[in-house]
Amino acid sequence: MTPVTRQEVLGLYRKIFRIAKKWQSASGQIEETIKEKEYIKNEAKTLFRKNKDVTDPKLIKQCIEECEARIEIGLHYNIPYPRPIHLPPMGLAHKQGRTLRHQEKLRKISKPIYLKSHDEVS
């Protein structure tokens, strides 16, 4: 990892913890705010630790883009959780055959960048 990339990653990590420190839930309830703050911190720790040994520059860039996208979406919608894809699972394909494989491939390709690591951790 280059020094510039390392600084960028550490800057994102610090930014997430600053956001968590100032976070207010949309409902305004104290219990909900505490729960969401803990979620933000735990999610950041989990994903950053999971990706700490990544050395491929393309993969590092993808992780940085995912992080930035999740930060922006979380701040915009005031929801710390990743937004789901609004398609029912396998709602477009039959349960067998080539159509199913094709739909699974399309679903994987079309997955938003902010959800790339969500399924791997959850």
Give 34-54 pLDDT, tens digit per residue: 999 999 999 999 999 999 999
- Residue 4: predicted pLDDT: 86
C-alpha dihedral over 118, 64, 56, 43, to 10 degrees?
Answer: -40
Looking at the whole model, is its pTM more than 0.85?
Answer: no
Encoded amino acid at 110, one letter: S
Separation of alpha carbons 94 and 101, rounded Å: 10
pLDDT tens track for 67-107: 998 899 899 989 898 776 555 555 555 555 666 677 777 76
